[in-house]
Structure 1
Amino acid sequence: MQQPFSPGATASVELIVTEVDTAQAIGSGDVPVLGTPRILALAEAATVAAIARQLPDGTTTVGVRIELDHRAATPVGRTVVARARLTKVDGRWLVFAISVTEGDSTVAEGRVERRLVDRQRFIGQAGRSS
């Protein structure tokens, strides 16, 4: 299969923080600010969006490794933007640099690794024990 991806692909995803996005609501803490798991989900959504148009038919990508530094608290009502940039392609392995910002402030940053897989095979194997 010819490599459909090349470094440099980017995308961003925006979120207005609501009560359901807070650490209290998610169960990852007891404070009413944007929860780390929600930041992670937003960052992954940006990685998916960055390569969505280049995916070969019958394939998808799955997250396999995440490094995330959550640097600042974000209260309800504020808007955050997750940005992903594809930095490395190694066969079926894709590496993204991610950042989440609120205005000029960095809320979180890190990297996400995803793997290109056959969608049907992956779904079929998902229920099997190893």
Structure 2
Amino acid sequence: MADEQSPSPLSNISPGLEFSETWPVGRFEPQTIVDGVDVVATPEIIGCMEGTVRDAVTPHLPDGYRVVGSEVECDHRAPTPAGGEVEVTVEIEAVDEENDQVVATATVTDDAGIVATGRMQHAAVDRETFGGSVERRFAELSAAGPE
């Protein structure tokens, strides 16, 4: 979170910001439906949505910051063939500078129409500070050993 002395890392981002990106799909765990018909799995669709939010927001963040996902909703409405492409359009819905949170909506389309819609929340984090948190968490997990 931004402290009283410094502005939020999200201060250059406003609701209404839109960004679109095209993604190749079906490279990660395509789902075979019948007789070799492969479709894109929901986790890959979510990854495309998350990546598009990251690419939309990152250029507006101060050096050393990035966004990390904290919440995601996805309505995967229609199959799309593995090996094709989808276009993801995101729009920033809300910016909470006090808590360094941004909420975005996404629409995923292929040549036949809407594939999925979603809503995601991301936190803006200082890479160095967040990296330290990740290292501490991994050390805790390692010390705990397998169950």
- Pairwise same-fold verdict (TM > 0.5): yes
Q: Which residue of 2 aligns with 1:8?
A: 16
Q: Which residue of 1 aligns with 2:47?
A: 41
1:76-95 matches, within 5 Å, as 76-91=82-97, 92-95=100-103
Measured on the aligned residues, the alpha-carbon RMSD in Å equals 1.7
Aligned CA distance change for structure 1 residues 14 and 46 (closer, same or farther; 3 Å): same
Report the Cα distance in structure 2 between the residues aligned to 1:121 and 1:114, rounded to whole angstroms: 16
Give the number of the structure whose alpha-carbon radius of gyration is greater: 2
SS of the residue corresponding to residue 67 of structure 2 reads: strand
Q: Give TM-score scaled by structure 2 length.
A: 0.76
Counterpart residue type for residue 4 of structure 1: N
Deviation of the 1:125 alpha carbon = 0.7
Deviations 1:10-61 (A, max 9, x none): 211212334x24433xxxxx43201111101100111011112211122111
Q: Which runs of 5+ in 2 are unaligned?
A: 1-5, 141-147
Counterpart residue type for residue 107 of structure 1: V
Q: Which residue of 2 aligns with 1:27?
A: none
Matched, 1:57 2:75: no
Deviation of the 1:79 alpha carbon = 2.4
Q: Give TM-score scaled by structure 1 length.
A: 0.85
Deviations 1:109-130 (A, max 9, x none): 0101000111101011112237
Report the Cα distance in structure 2 between the residues aligned to 1:50 and 1:83, rounded to whole angstroms: 10
**Comparing 119-128 and 77-86, the one that deviates more:** 77-86
Q: Which runs of 5+ in 1 are unaligned?
A: 25-29
Preserved CA contact (<8 Å) 1:17 1:80: yes
The count of residues paired between Structure 1 and Structure 2 equals 124
Quick one: which of 117, 123, 138 aligns to 1:115?
Answer: 123
Counterpart residue type for residue 84 of structure 2: R
